[in-house]
């Protein structure tokens, strides 16, 4: 049938070589189109993800309402979801991994925390996706898909309790439970623009919850409504309805807000203005929290890395987060090494790296790790007592884009975990609340109170929230006033006064003079660069970075500006950008030894 047409084709092809070229190009085109479509399908599969719930779905109905004169159930008519780490009788607890689910039997009892919610009238409507084995802070899961962050659909929702956060953020449930180990409730709450609560360590029962690291983890709560958080918190923590009132003492960790790219007008100033008109609040205090921890937690000294002249106390929190991760690895290994080695589970790249690091870890310095934890709790007790609340940014950066490569996420992890390690390592309670947006990304602020004063924290945040949200609305509609430009001679005089103050180590005074000079002449790179030097000495690294960027925009060959911006960025744990600045300085000054050493050091840190 096909013989004669094929002979004709062969004859034409052999007689006309151009035909071969056309055929070749056609085949190549088909292959390219097919491969492009395949990659697009794969890309869509990675980015257009899934709803937060796992199959099979189920409803756990609440216990019957007791007859009068019993009080009404406080959680009646509320629905909730739970991460796939809580036991539910008759269902396998999957731990975010199909191989775990395939090698374990169905639970014979329901987790106590779930039962407590059912007894108080709430309905559980299913389990949600989570990071594998409760390892990770991105919320991505290669097996079950990554729940879509409703705030930024092409970005991570945060984890490990990603599904529970998304279920609340999209309005599918009234509240949800997750487990917070290294920030696994607070981080997704921030990225999804909702409220997250990490209770005091040990305050909520963990019976019927799969362990990752018992010294760090606690049940956490997501919700959109602080009054619901108040009710759920009272149920789970078994709190008294009435407590002796005491004045609240807010302490702002100014150095930690330096880590955040969000202007303080949208965070610190919002809270400060909100409490100005509220009764029962002492005047707010400001402190360098990292410096305080460096002096109060001597066990961290052995975990700090060598750095540069301007190494600041922020690196103390990086050391704290390193201890947190080491402790997590040791305890995970104790809990699950046997299963990992026998089951050889299929794991996503990120989870695989974390599990391998845990299994390869040693217990040589485990006593030192627990010592740091004990010192950290004592330091927070001394600072906060029973009336203090530490105010910090919940996260330092906006959520990463989905499928970000490992090398590009190391800075993000360092900066995020530096903040989350405070409550994880001290066992303190922490509430994170949304405070609007910055450049389309949700922003949040966190309040930390000492271990055991959860009711005091919940009551305080509920008391402040309406005023805070009012100030958020005002801040989002305000515009900064423009600076003025005036006499150049006067600006030079002010610069010289600033230089004299700098030499006299009067950093604040130097900043004041340089600022006045800039108001008169906004086109001088030197003024910005000099003020950046003063900001570095004060530990105001975000302002130093901004000033250096302005100086560079005015003078592309300003070596000092690149050097100082590199120093500021390294102090903010932005290693990649810092390395680029020192490289640029070396292009302009190849013999600059400080830049050369800094670039090598940063390359080592990034590797």
pLDDT in tens, 505-537: 999 999 999 999 999 889 899 999 999 999 999
- Range name among 55-69, 116-130, 182-196, 473-487 with the lowest pLDDT average: 473-487
Percent of the chain with pLDDT over 90: 78
- Averaged over 257-263, what is the pLDDT? 90
Q: How far is CA 589 from the centre of its chain?
A: 37
Across all residues in the chain, what is the average pLDDT? 89
**Residue 10, pLDDT above cutoff 80:** no
**Residue 61, pLDDT above cutoff 90:** yes
Greatest mean pLDDT among 90-94, 260-264, 278-282, 539-543: 90-94
- Identify the residue with better confidence: 13 or 607: 607
Both tokens of 43, joined, read 């890309």
544: nearest Cα among 553, 555, 533, 552? 533
- Identify the residue with better confidence: 261 or 508: 508
- Identify the residue with better confidence: 152 or 478: 152
Q: Is 540 left (phi over 0), alpha (psi -120 to 50) or beta?
A: beta
In angstroms, what CA-CA distances link 375 with 110, 172, 206, 297? 35, 41, 24, 5
260: nearest Cα among 477, 581, 528, 572? 572
Q: What is the pLDDT of residue 23?
A: 56
- Identify the residue with better confidence: 130 or 49: 130
Confidence band for 47, pLDDT divided at 50, 70 and 90: very low
CA dihedral (420, 426, 427, 430) positive or negative? negative
- Averaged over 579-597, what is the pLDDT? 94
- 249-476 placed in CATH 3.40.50.720: no
Sheet holding 388-393, edge to edge: 123-128, 79-83, 175-180, 218-223, 195-198, 429-438, 441-449, 388-393, 249-253, 285-287
Q: What is the pLDDT of residue 438?
A: 94
Confidence band for 5, pLDDT divided at 50, 70 and 90: very low
- Report, in angstroms and rounded to the nearest whole number, the Rg of the chain calculated over CA atoms: 28
Confidence band for 35, pLDDT divided at 50, 70 and 90: low
- Range name among 68-72, 90-94, 398-402, 513-517 with the lowest pLDDT average: 68-72
In angstroms, what CA-CA distances link 14 with 11, 20, 25? 5, 9, 17
For 325-350, write each residue's pLDDT tens digit: 999 999 999 999 999 999 999 999 99
Rounded to whole angstroms, the Cα distance separating 182 from 420 reads 6
Both tokens of 152, joined, read 């930024």
CA dihedral (484, 490, 492, 497) positive or negative? negative
Residue spans of the domains in the chain: they are: 3-47, 249-476, 488-606
318: nearest Cα among 421, 392, 406, 398? 421
Confidence band for 240, pLDDT divided at 50, 70 and 90: confident
Confidence band for 33, pLDDT divided at 50, 70 and 90: low
- Averaged over 417-441, what is the pLDDT? 97
Confidence band for 594, pLDDT divided at 50, 70 and 90: very high
Q: What is the pLDDT of residue 380?
A: 98
Q: What is the pLDDT of residue 37?
A: 54
**Residue 150, pLDDT above cutoff 70:** yes
- Identify the residue with better confidence: 292 or 409: 292
- Identify the residue with better confidence: 68 or 170: 170
Other Cβ atoms within 10 Å of 214 Cβ, number: 16
Confidence band for 303, pLDDT divided at 50, 70 and 90: confident
**Residue 19, pLDDT above cutoff 80:** no
Three-class SS string for 25-57?
Answer: HHHHHHHHHHHHHHHHHHHHHHHCCECCECCCC
Out of 1.20.1730.10, 1.25.40.10, 3.30.70.1350, 3.40.50.300, the CATH code matching 488-606 is 1.25.40.10
Q: Is 278 left (phi over 0), alpha (psi -120 to 50) or beta?
A: beta
Other Cβ atoms within 10 Å of 141 Cβ, number: 26
- Range name among 94-103, 367-376, 387-396, 592-601 with the lowest pLDDT average: 592-601
Question: What DSSP designation does 151 have?
Answer: S
The reply to whether domains 249-476 and 488-606 share a CATH topology is no
**Residue 204, pLDDT above cutoff 90:** yes
DSSP string, 507-555: HHHHHHHHHHHHHH-TT-HHHHHHHHHHHHHHT-HHHHHHHHHHHHHH-
**Contacts for 202 with CB less than 8 Å, ≥ 6 apart:** 218, 427
């Amino acid at each position: 049938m096909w013989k004669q047409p094929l002979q004709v084709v062969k004859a034409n092809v052999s007689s006309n070589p151009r035909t071969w070229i056309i055929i070749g190009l056609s085949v190549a085109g088909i292959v390219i189109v097919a491969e492009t479509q395949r990659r697009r399908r794969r890309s869509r599969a990675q980015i257009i993800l899934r709803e937060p719930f796992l199959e099979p779905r189920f409803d756990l109905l609440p216990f019957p309402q007791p007859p009068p004169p019993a009080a009404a159930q406080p959680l009646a008519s509320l629905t909730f979801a739970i991460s796939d780490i809580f036991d539910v009788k008759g269902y396998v607890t999957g731990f975010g991994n199909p191989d775990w689910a395939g090698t374990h039997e169905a639970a014979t009892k329901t987790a106590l925390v779930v039962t407590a919610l059912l007894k108080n009238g709430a309905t559980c409507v299913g389990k949600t996706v989570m990071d594998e084995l409760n390892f990770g802070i991105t919320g991505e899961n290669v097996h079950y898909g990554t729940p879509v962050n409703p705030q930024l659909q092409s970005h991570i929702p945060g984890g490990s309790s990603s599904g529970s956060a998304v279920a609340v953020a999209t309005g599918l449930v009234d509240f949800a439970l997750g487990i917070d180990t290294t920030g696994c409730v607070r981080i997704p709450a921030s990225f999804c623009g909702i409220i997250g609560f990490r209770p005091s360590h040990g305050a909520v029962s963990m019976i019927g919850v799969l362990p990752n690291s018992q010294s760090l983890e606690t049940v956490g709560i997501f919700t959109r409504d602080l009054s619901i958080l108040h009710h759920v918190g009272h149920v789970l923590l078994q709190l008294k309805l009435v407590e002796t009132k005491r004045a609240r003492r807010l302490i702002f960790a100014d150095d930690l807000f330096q880590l955040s790219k969000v202007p303080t007008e949208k965070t610190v100033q919002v809270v400060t203005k909100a409490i100005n008109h509220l009764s029962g609040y002492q005047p707010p205090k400001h402190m360098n929290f990292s410096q305080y921890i460096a002096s109060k937690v001597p066990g961290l000294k052995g975990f700090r890395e060598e750095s540069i002249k301007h190494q600041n106390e922020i690196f103390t929190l990086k050391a704290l987060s390193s201890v947190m991760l080491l402790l997590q690895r040791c305890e995970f290994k104790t809990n699950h090494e046997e299963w990992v080695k026998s089951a050889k589970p299929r794991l996503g790249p990120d989870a695989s790296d974390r599990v391998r690091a845990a299994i390869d870890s040693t217990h040589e310095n485990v006593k030192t790790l627990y010592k740091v934890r004990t010192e950290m709790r004592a330091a927070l007790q001394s600072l906060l007592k029973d009336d203090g609340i530490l105010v910090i940014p919940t996260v330092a950066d906006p959520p990463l884009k989905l499928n970000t490569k490992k090398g590009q996420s190391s800075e993000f992890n360092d900066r995020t975990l530096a903040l989350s390690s405070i409550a994880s390592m001290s066992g303190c309670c922490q509430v994170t609340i949304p405070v609007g947006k910055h450049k389309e990304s949700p922003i949040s602020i966190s309040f930390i109170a000492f271990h055991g004063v959860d009711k005091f924290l919940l009551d305080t945040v509920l008391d402040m929230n309406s005023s805070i949200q009012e100030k958020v609305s005002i801040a989002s509609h305000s515009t900064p006033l423009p600076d003025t430009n005036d006499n150049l001679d006067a600006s030079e005089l002010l610069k010289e006064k600033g230089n004299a103050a700098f030499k006299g180590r009067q950093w604040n005074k130097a900043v004041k003079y340089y600022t006045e000079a800039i108001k008169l002449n906004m086109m001088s790179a030197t003024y910005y660069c000099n003020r950046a030097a003063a900001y570095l000495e004060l530990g105001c690294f975000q302002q130093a970075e901004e000033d250096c960027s302005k100086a560079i925009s005015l003078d592309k060959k300003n070596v000092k500006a690149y050097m100082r911006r590199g120093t500021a960025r390294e102090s903010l744990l932005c290693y990649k950008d810092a390395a680029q600045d020192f490289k640029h300085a070396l292009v302009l000054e190849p013999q600059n030894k400080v830049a050369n050493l800094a670039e090598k050091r940063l390359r080592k840190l990034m590797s």
